[in-house]
Chains A and B, each alone.
Chain A
Amino acid sequence: EDQVTQSPEALRLQEGESSSLNCSYTVSGLRGLFWYRQDPGKGPEFLFTLYSAGEEKEKERLKATLTKKESFLHITAPKPEDSATYLCAVNTNAGKSTFGDGTTLTVKP
Chain B
Amino acid sequence: DTGVSQDPRHKITKRGQNVTFRCDPISEHNRLYWYRQTLGQGPEFLTYFQNEAQLEKSRLLSDRFSAERPKGSFSTLEIQRTEQGDSAMYLCASSLVPTPDEKLFFGSGTQLSVL
Residues of A within 8 A of B (CB): 4, 6, 31-32, 34, 36, 41-46, 49, 87, 89, 91, 94-102
Q: Which of B33, B43, B55, B106 meets A45, CB within 8 Å?
A: B106
Total A-B Cβ pairs within 8 A: 58
Residues of B within 8 A of A (CB): 4, 31, 33, 35, 40-45, 48, 55-56, 91, 93, 100-109
A residues near B55, Cβ cutoff 8 Å = 95
Known contacts A94-B56, A96-B56, A46 near B42 by CB under 8 Å: no
Is the pair A102, B42 in contact by a Cβ cutoff of 8 Å? yes
Most central of B44, B45, B104 by chain A CB within 10 Å:
B104
Q: How far is the CA of A45 from the CA of B101 in the complex (A)?
A: 14
Q: How far is the CA of A6 from the CA of B41 in the complex (A)?
A: 11
A39 → B minimal CB distance (Å)? 10
